[in-house]
Structure 1
Amino acid sequence: MTLTTSRPPAVTARGTATRPRRTGRQWPLTVLLALVSILTVSPFLVMLILALSPPRELTVPHQWPDSLTFDNLIQTLTSAGFVGWTLNSLIYAGVSVVIILLTASMAGYAFAKKRFPGRDALMWALLATVMVPFQAMLIPMFVMVSSLDGVDTFWGMIVPTLANSQAVFLMRQFIKDLPDELFEAAKVDGASEWRIYWQIVVPLTKPILATLGIFVFLWHWNDFLWPLVVAQSDELRTLTVGLTTLKGEEHPLSLVMASAVISVVPCLLVFFLLQRYLVNSIAMTGLK
């Protein structure tokens, strides 16, 4: 029987171990990722160039424009219609994020740590709703909202989108991995259910709440079909619906692209503000 021993790492004159150098086998992957990144960013660069181009009839930028100007961005920001659309989108997305995170975390805690009859069956029923296309539910939802006089109102636009089974499932899976000893110790100390939720569940689920908040904000900020159907007046138009009206009213393409560039800014701000929690959520998921 022979024993094999691993060769120790080489030691330099300074007494530090040197790791074997990696070969250049990773350069194809690096080139591939660089090409994919360029293809992904190029439409946004074209959109930015069109937004900074002088107001004229533009179709596709065959060549670099002769001059760049911020007049389109300034005109868009000072437009009363654009400001109103942006505020409507912020209300629609912001209120939806707060309510969905609150209800999804509560429901996820109940499905993960509570025992009640029909818990698993109810969870599967919620997951089954994910398989139904939104277009199939559009007419029934509109009929229900219309019967309750919710057409052309903020609550009629927000309330039907709050039942998010995907958010409940994500919260349930995350809370399910939390140690039961924490909740048992809190119950022994006499903590109420609300205190357990607010002081244990919410602090420990900040990474997944931030990640889910980014997704929900993007879903509602970019939502087009439901606001188009429900918000029938100009005062309740969201930004996505308003941008389509600019194109329909034959505005210069540079002005439309300037509005599109500004509409991306809130999404980038939300991502950069919450990216730390997003990375922590991915790291904690890998550790689990």
Structure 2
Amino acid sequence: MRSRQVLPTVLLALVALLAVAPFLLMLLVALSPPGSPTIPHRLPGSLTLANFARVLAAEDFLRWTTNTFVYAAVSVVAVLLSASMAAYVFARKRFPGRDVLLWSMLGTLMVPFHAVFLPLLLLVAALGWVDGYWGLIVPSLANAQAVLLLRQFIRALPDDVFDAVRVDGAGDWRMYWHVVLPLCRPVLATLAAFVFLWHWNDFLWPLVVTRSERMWTLTVGLSTMDSGHIGIAELMAAATVTAVPCLLVFGLLQRHLVSAISGQGR
């Protein structure tokens, strides 16, 4: 019995080590003093934060960080609000054409993003949103996956809860704000983590919709830093700083993620 427990533990430890190794190597290079080898074969004799200081002191890097934070944070709030409203309507309201509208929206999941990439870019350009926050944020707000996940969660909620609130005279807005949103907290936290990570690490759309350097996000900015003008240690320091918000978001929402995945979030 004990040997059966040891083997899965060893395998999981190896998989975890393989997953963490690139991040540890990135951090080690970022902390290395100038002149250190690109791929260190052993721990450097001394560690330094000078690479991080030079990266954080760069005006462009701070501007890219601000753009990325606005892009990710505003998208999270907007997607959660719009998707939860749509999901509540699809799950609890009856109106003509509901199923047709729902399946039409879900059908967009079958269409690859690259298929609508050019029409979407032309539409954004026609609206004058190129090289601005509107062009970055608005096209990603219609999230059919979020609507589907929330709809299934809301449909599974007990009908007695909604009936009791309606007996008290609550309308749809009160029902949505005081009943649906609190009960959907675990799945909302899960979606918030996924949407934030997706936008924070997004590269293709910010690359084509932004024109000036001042509107670049971190992913676009980092791709231009690897041009021989800075050292590999500074580049790894910038990549490490970029990864920190993702780790913080996952750490803060880990409890809700596990609760939603295990089905105990109700």
Is the pair's TM-score, using the shorter chain for normalization, greater than 0.5?
yes
Structure 1 match to 2:61: 82
Q: CA deviation at 1:286?
A: 5.5
Q: 8 Å contact 1:58–1:254 — kept in the other structure?
A: no
8 A contact 1:57–1:253 mirrored in 2: no
Indicate the percent of aligned positions where both proteins have the same amino acid. 56
Question: What letter matches 2:138 in structure 1?
Answer: V
1:171 to 150, 156, 179: 150
1:262 matched to 2:241: yes
Matched, 1:50 2:29: yes
* Cα offset, 1:40, TM superposition: 0.6
Gaps of 5+ in 1: 1-21
Q: Give structure 2 stretches of 5+ with no counterpart.
A: none
CA shift, 1:282, in A, is: 2.6
C-alpha spacing 1:249/1:157, structure 2 compared with 1 (3 Å): farther
Cα distance between partner residues in 2 of 1:182 and 1:222: 39
Q: Does residue 118 of the first structure (1) align with residue 61 of the second (2)? A: no
**Cα drift, residue 232 of structure 1:** 1.0
In the alignment, residue 85 of structure 2 is paired with which amino acid?
Answer: M
Deviates more, 1:173-182 or 1:64-73: 64-73
8 Å Cα contact 2:259/2:265 also seen in 1? no
Pairwise CA distance, 1:56? 3.4
Q: Which of 124, 132, 156 is the matching residue for 1:145?
A: 124
Q: Which moved more, 1:137-146 or 1:118-127?
A: 118-127
- Farther off after superposition, 94-103 or 270-279: 270-279
* C-alpha displacement of 1:279: 2.4
Letter in 2 for 1:125: S
Give the conservation status (yes or no) of the 8 Å contact 1:56–1:254: no
Q: Which residue of 2 aligns with 1:242?
A: 221
Instruction: Check the 8 A contact 1:227/1:238 in 2, yes or no.
Output: yes
Give yes or no for contact 2:190–2:256 (8 Å, CA) kept in 1: yes
Counterpart amino acid of residue 134 in structure 2: W
Counterparts of 1:90 and 1:98, CA distance in 2: 12
What SS does the corresponding residue of 1:187 show, helix, strand or coil? Answer: helix
Q: 2:208 aligns with which of 220, 229, 236?
A: 229
Distance 1:249 1:117 in 2: 61
- 1:37 alignment partner, SS class: helix
Give the distance between the partners of 1:279 and 1:143, measured in 2 at CA: 40
CA RMSD in angstroms, aligned pairs only:
1.6
**Preserved CA contact (<8 Å) 1:47 1:257:** yes
Contact kept, 8 Å, 2:91 with 2:152, in 1: the verdict is yes
**Alignment partner of 2:4 out of 14, 17, 25:** 25
Does the 8 Å contact 1:86/1:238 carry over to 2?
yes
Among 73, 76, 82, the residue aligned to 1:103: 82
Q: Deviations over 1:27-62 (max 9, x none)?
A: 111111111111111000110111111233743334
Match status 1:72 vs 2:51: yes
Cα gap change, 1:286 to 1:195, in 2 (>3 Å):
closer
> In the superposition, relative to structure 1, how do residues 30 and 126 fare at CA in structure 2: closer, same or farther (>3 Å)?
same
Q: 1:23 and 1:161 mapped to 2: Cα distance?
A: 49
* Alpha-carbon shift at residue 287 of structure 1 (Å): 8.2
- Deviation string 1:241-277 (CA, Å, 9 cap, x unpaired) is 0101101353211111000001111111112222222
Distance in 2, matches of 1:189 and 1:37, equals 51
- Larger proportion of helix: 2
Mapped to 2, the partners of 1:193 and 1:112 lie a distance apart of: 13
Q: CA deviation at 1:197?
A: 0.4
Which residue identity is paired with 1:246? M
Give the Cα–Cα distance (whole angstroms) in 2 for the partners of residues 122 and 139 of structure 1.
Answer: 25
TM-score by length of 1: 0.88
* Contact 2:64–2:218 (Cα < 8 Å) also in 1: yes
Aligned to 2:226, the other structure's residue is in SS state helix
Instruction: Compute the TM-score of the two structures, normalised by the length of structure 2.
Output: 0.95
2:184 to 205, 217, 222: 205
Task: Answer whether contact 1:56 1:253 (CA < 8 A) is retained.
Answer: no
- Contact kept in structure 1, 2:187 and 2:265, CA below 8 Å: no
Retained in 2: the 8 A contact 1:214–1:271? yes
